[in-house]
Amino acid sequence: MRRARASFEPERTGSAIVVDQMSESFPASGGARHADMDEIYAEAEHWHVNTGNETIHAKRIPGRWRTIKWLAASVWLIFFLGPYLRWDGRQAVLFDIPNRQYHLFGATVLPQDFWMLSLLLLFFAILLAVATALAGRVYCGYFCFQTVWTDVFTLIEEKLEGNPAQRRRLDAAPFSLKKLRTKAIKHLSWALIGFITGFSFVAWFYGADKLWRDFFVGDANVAVYAAVALFTVGTYVLAGWMREQVCFWLCPYARIQGVMLDRTTVVPTYDEGRGEPRGRMKKGETEANRTTGDCVDCSQCVAVCPTGVDIRQGQQEGCITCGLCIDACNAVMDKVGRPRGLIRYASLDEMEGKHAPPMFARPRVWVYIAILVIALSGIIYGLSSLTAIDLKVLHERAPLYVQLSDGSFQNKYTVKLLNKTNEDLDIAISVEADVPVTVTRLEDSIPAKHGEVTPGILFVKIRRQDLSGESVPLTFVATAQLPNGSEIKASRESAFFGPTQ
Ligand code: SF4
Ligand code: SF4
């Protein structure tokens, strides 16, 4: 664990100036503030750091970072609402695993296009590394499903069972019908959210409409019921029972993040130089005669911490960078009339008064950005070049060519047509070349089932007098009409071979 030291630097905000002015009049209104602090000190005895052997009942207080946390968490609404989004008359995003087709806003991605998935994974891995290098476990604090679901579960717990002190009392209270009813409602609510989570997850793969039709009448397959059950139980256990202990003790990302942070990483940091020596406020104490630092040792920063970390011990792996301790400490600073920012987002260099280079001046940031741009360009290229039909042409090698009785030469080709649409199509094949060619033994069109590869054989003939060299470049073109009247095409280069001249 590292400890940050710094000289005192009050936060220069409008509200901080007001607070500063208030501190001048502290003795006059000190009685009220001491009354507030007495209350806080009384509850401080309950707050201690996470040892992993008891449930953390974190206190909820409003504040800037709490609001940002909710806004960031609201991104997860896409997870629940996304399967109901329609595009061209069908589910906009559908990962159709049984048919090995993935529909993304009208584009169909088949297994052979999976190189894009590798790029997508690379993109998100690097994005996570960038975010961690710049702002620590910011993903954990604001976006991770474990912290977001836990936040919702504990909010329900608070609504039903009360604040942390009331919850602890209820946990310790003997069995009663009231306790049974409260606990039952809570656990049923958790299980319901777990079920909705599992149902929404499966809807991305099975199709939302079909899932609603099949699930409740028992027509869905076993894998669907198993997946929903697994998610229901998993969500209930991880977000309801294990919650912050997952972040603290189980998550592998917490273990590897240490190698991604450096002295310039901006994380919630306790300003030790300003806060120490910490000490509780005493009756009759004024700003002029106090001998302690700005930390009034109220433990509010520990009280609100969802993982039960004491940020005053320095940056540590249990900290998920959520900023809630900043809100708590700022509220206390407001109460006691001291400037905000005793805990604030800052880098170690900044805390030690060293020059912190701006983000764009760090080579590591540019390397990360370059990899992100390359991965993103590859994904965009891949998506924009997806065709509705895919054509492969294989030239028969044995024999390479045959000479016909009229003196012309003939080559044999096997074409493979992949129909990526949702419709069965009749696909016509034509051949283009710089010399006259005749395509023989080919039906007018090849019937190609949707989502399948359909082979076909064709012969190309060129007259002897038109063969100017050993080979002639050919372009095979596959053309089909969609039910809506639009035409789709795919082409593939190949060659015609004749005798050595
Ligand atoms: S120490 Fe602060 S920033 Fe870290 S997890 Fe706890 S409340 Fe969030
Ligand atoms: S850092 Fe702030 S919230 Fe934490 S104990 Fe000190 S004064 Fe209280």
Prior bond of 399 cis (ω within 30°): yes
Would you state the pLDDT for residue 2? 37
Backbone angles phi, psi at 64, to 5 degrees: -60, -45
Closest ligand (CA of 274): 2
Query: What pTM did the predictor assign?
Result: 0.74
CA distances from 243 to 59, 315, 387, 469 (A): 15, 21, 45, 73
Mean pLDDT computed over 330-346: 93
3-state secondary structure of 314: coil
- 299 sits in the region (left: phi over 0; alpha: psi -120 to 50; else beta) called left
Q: 26 pLDDT exceeds 50?
A: no
Q: Whose CA is nearest to atom 4 of ligand 1?
A: 319
Name the amino acid, one letter, at 249.
Answer: W
Q: How far apart are CA 330 and CA 301, in angstroms?
A: 10
In which band, very low, low, confident or very high, does the pLDDT at 257 lie, cut at 50, 70 and 90? confident
Determine the atom of ligand 2 nearest the C-alpha atom of 300.
3
Output the six-digit token pair for 467: 């063969």
Distance 43 CA to ligand 2 centre (A): 13
Q: Given ligand 1 and candidates 142, 261, 319, 329, which is best to mutate, with the most ligand atoms within 8 Å of its CB?
A: 319
Q: How far apart are CA 332 and CA 111, in angstroms?
A: 56
List, for residues 170-214, the tens digit of each pLDDT value.
988 998 999 999 999 999 999 999 999 999 999 999 999 999 999
Q: Give the whole-angstrom CA distance, residue 409 versus residue 394.
A: 18
CB atoms within 10 A of CB 85: 12
Residue entry with tokens 């054509």: 391
Place of tokens 């741009």: 373
CATH topology of domain 389-497: Immunoglobulin-like (2.60.40)
Q: Quick check: helix, strand or coil at residue 405?
A: coil
Closest residue (by CA) to atom 4 of ligand 2? 301
Q: Any bridge partners for residue 312, and if so which? A: none
129/138 Cα distance (integer angstroms): 11
Q: Which of 46, 298, 311 to mutate to test the pocket of ligand 2 (most atoms within 8 A of CB)?
A: 298
Instruction: Give the pLDDT confidence of 392-450 residue by residue, as tens digits.
Output: 999 998 889 999 999 999 999 999 988 877 778 889 899 999 999 998 866 667 888 87
CB burial string 159-182: b at 16+ within 10 A, e below? eebeebeebbebeeeeeeeeeeeb
* Atom nearest to 336 CA in ligand 2: 7
State the CB neighbour count (10 A cutoff) for residue 54: 12
Residue 362: its pLDDT value, please?
A: 73
* Mean pLDDT rounded to a whole number for the chain: 84
Question: ∠ CA(458), CA(459), CA(465), 5° rounding?
Answer: 155
Measured CA distances, 477 to 51, 114, 276, 354, 493 (Å)? 68, 24, 77, 65, 9
How far apart are the CA of 311 and the centre of ligand 2, in A? Answer: 9
Which structure tokens are listed for 198? 């599992």
Domain ranges for the chain, please list them. 1-56+121-140+263-351+361-386, 64-109+144-242, 389-497
Q: What is the 3-state secondary structure (H, E, C) of 220-274?
A: CCHHHHHHHHHHHHHHHHHHHHHCHHHHHHHCHHHHHHHHCCCCCCCEEEECHHH
Query: Atom 7 (ligand 2): residue with closest C-alpha?
Result: 295
Query: What pLDDT, on the 0 to 100 scale, is given for residue 4?
Result: 36
Q: Which pLDDT tens digit goes with each residue over 273-330?
A: 999 999 888 877 777 888 889 999 999 999 999 888 899 988 777 888 999 999 999 9
Highest mean pLDDT range out of 125-139, 325-339, 352-366? 325-339
Other Cβ atoms less than 10 A from the Cβ of 397: the count is 8
Residue nearest to atom 8 of ligand 2 (CA): 298
Query: Residue type at 141?
Result: G
